[in-house]
Structure 1
Amino acid sequence: MISNLAKAGWRFKRPSVIPGFGMTLGFTLAYLTLIVLIPLAGLVWRSASLGWGGMWHVATDARTLNALKISFGTSLVAALINVVFGVIVAWVLVRYRFPGRRIIDAIVDLPFALPTAVAGIALTALYSKNGWIGRWLDPLGIKVAFTPIGITIALIFIGLPFVVRTVQPVMEEIRKEVEEAAATLGATRFQTISRVLLPGLTPAILTGFALAFARAVGEYGSVIFIAGNLPYISEIAPLLIVIRLEEFDYTGATAIAAIMLLISFTMLFVINLIQAWSRRRYGYAT
C-alpha cells in the first residue's frame, strides 16, 4: 500500500532542477481561480436565476438559435479552412527558402497586432458591393459583405496565425531525412504525407484548430462591420449579447453567454480527447 502511494506521489511530483513546485502550483490555482473560475461561476450563477424554464425559453428562442448557428457554424468552417491553408503556409515557410520569405512570415502575424475593428473595416471595404473585390463578385450573383460568407472570411483572417504558429515549430522538428527515407523505401508522395508526416503533425493541427475555433467563436470587432448585423441573416451571438445588455436584459445576456460557454467547453473538451488519443496512438507530444 505504501509502495503504491509512493509511486503515485512520484508520478504526481517529479523532481526538478528548479525547486518550488508547491508554491508555483498554489500560485497557478489561485491565478486561474481569480481570473477564470470566479468570473465564469458568476456568469453561471446569474443565468441560473432564470431557472430551467427561463433558460430553456432563451435557448429555444428563434433569434438566439439562429445567432448561435451562425456563430458556431461560421467558426467551424473558418477553423477547418484555416487548418488546410495554415498547414500549407507552415510547410512553405519551413521547407523552402525564397526571396521575401521573412516578409511573408511576418505578415502571418499581422492579424495578432492589427486591431480587429480595423480588420473589419478593411474587409468590408474590399467585399462590399462597390469594393475592390465585391464589384467583381456582384455581377456573378455572389454577395459577401453582410452575409455569413463575409463573417467566415473575417474569421479566417483572424484565425490563420493560430494554426500556422502551432504547426510550424512541430514541422521544423521533422527532418527531411525522414521523407527521403520513406521515398527510398518506395513510398509515394501521398503515402509519405499521410503515413509519415501527418501522424506527427496531427496533435499540433488539432491544437491549432481548437485555438482558431475558440478565437472565432468569441470574435466581435472584425465581424460586426462585415456582418451587417441583420437578425436571422448575419447576426452573431456575441452581438446579440451586447443587444440584450443595451436593452438592460442582463439576465438574458448572461443566459446566452452561458449557453455559448457550455457549447464551446463541450466542443473543446472533445477536441482535447481526440488530441490525447492521437498522442497515445502515434507517440508524439505537442
Structure 2
Amino acid sequence: MHTGDAAPRRRRKPSYRRIAQATGAVGPLGIGIAALWLSVIVLLPLAALTVASLDNGISGFIDAVTAPNALASLRITVAVSAVVALINVVMGTLIAWTLVRDDFPGKRIVNALIDLPFALPTIVASIVLLSLYGPQSPINIHLNATKAGLIVALAFVTLPFVVRSVQPVLIELDRDVEEAAASLGASNMTIFRRIVLPTLTPAIISGAGLAFARAIGEYGSIILIGGNIPRDTQVTSQYIQQQIEID
C-alpha cells in the first residue's frame, strides 16, 4: 500500500473566457465590434481626409497650409482657443465649486442650464449672441466682428466641459481632510492650495483640454458674430469653408 503523499495535481492554465469573466473583459467578439466601429466612425474618415488632402501632391498640400491667410487663421484660432480655455478653467472651476459647496435658490435650474450649450444648435447660439452683442445690441455692447466676440462665443459653447469635469471630483472629495487641516490652524487658501487643488488638477487639465479642442474646431457659434474677416477674426474652420466654396 502506498503511504507517501499524493502527487500534486497539475494546475490548469485558466482559459481566456474565465479570465474575461473574472475581469469583466468583453472578449474577442467585443474587441472586434469595437475595432470595426472605431474604424468606420474615426479611422476611415481620417484616411479619406488624408488622401483628399494630397490630391495635388505633398507640395500642393504644403502650399495650401502655408498660405498667408491659412497661417493667419491658424494663429487666431490657437490664440483665441487658448484664451477661452484659460477663462473657462477659472470660471468653470468657480461655477463647479459653487454648485457643489453652496446652496441657493434655483440651484437645480442653474445646474441644468450648464448643459444648454450641448443641446442648443450652435448656429442658434450665434444668432442669440449676435442679437445681444451685435450692431443693434440692447445693452449697447458691440462685439460683432471682433476677437472679443469670438472669445464670448467660444466660451459659451466650451464652458460645460470644465464644469462637468471638475464637478464630480468635488463631489467625491473627502471633506474630513479639509476639516482636519482647518482644525490644525490651516487657512482657507492653504487648504485649497495644498489639499483641494492637487486633487482637482487632473480634472481641470482634462476639462481645459476638451474646451481647447472644441474651440479649435468650432464653426457654428462664431459664424455670425465672428465676422469672418481674413487676418483679423477669421478662424481656421471659416477659412476651410471659404476654400471649399472657392473650389
Q: Tell me whether the two structures share a fold, i.e. TM-score over 0.5.
A: yes
Aligned to 2:107: 101
The equivalent residue for 1:160 is 159
Whole-Å Cα distance in 1 between the matches of residues 46 and 184 of structure 2?
A: 54
Amino acid of the structure 2 residue aligned with 1:38: L
Return the offset for 1:23: 1.8
TM-score (norm 2): 0.87
Q: 2:98 aligns with which of 65, 88, 92?
A: 92
Picking from 95, 106, 118, the partner of 1:112 is 118
Are positions 1:50 and 2:56 aligned together?
A: yes
Matched, 1:71 2:70: no
Task: Please identify, of 179-188 and 162-171, the stretch whose mean Cα deviation from structure 2 is larger.
Answer: 179-188
C-alpha distance after superposition, 1:186-218 (max 9, x if no partner)? 322222111101111111111111111111111
Structure 2 match to 1:38: 44
Q: Hey, what does 2:33 align to over in structure 1?
A: 27
Greater helix share, 1 or 2? Answer: 1
Supply the distance in 2 between the matched residues of 1:16 and 1:154 (Cα, whole angstroms): 48
Please tell me the residue identity of whatever aligns with 1:91.
Answer: W
Secondary structure of the structure 1 residue equivalent to 2:118: helix
Normalising by structure 1, we get a TM-score of 0.76
> RMSD of aligned C-alpha atoms?
2.0
Q: 1:202 — aligned with what?
A: 201
Helix, strand or coil at the partner of 1:225: coil
**Aligned CA distance change for structure 1 residues 21 and 185 (closer, same or farther; 3 Å):** farther
Query: Which whole-Å CA distance do the structure 2 matches of 1:39 and 1:18 have between them?
Result: 31
Shift of 1:90: 0.4
Letter in 2 for 1:146: A
Partner of 2:10: none
Q: How high is the sequence identity, in percent, across the aligned residues?
A: 45
Superposed, which structure 2 residues align to 1:114-263 within 5 Å? 114-133=120-139, 135=140, 137=141, 144-248=143-247
Q: Residue 240 and residue 176 in structure 1: after superposition, are their counterparts in 2 closer, same or farther (change >3 A)?
A: same
Alignment deviations for residues 48-89 of structure 1 (CA, whole Å, 9 cap, x no partner):
233332222122211001111112211111111111100000
Which entry has the higher C-alpha Rg, 1 or 2? 2
The one-character-per-residue Cα deviations of 1:123-163 (angstroms, maximum 9, x if unpaired) are 11111233023x2x4xxxxx521111101110000000111
User: Matches of 2:181 and 2:55 in 1, distance apart?
Assistant: 61
Deviations 1:83-132 (A, max 9, x none): 11000000000011111111111111111111111110111111123302
Alignment partners' CA distance in 1, 2:187 and 2:20? 43
Tell me by how many angstroms 1:185 deviates. 2.5
Q: Which residue of structure 2 lines up, in the alignment, with residue 255 of structure 1? A: none
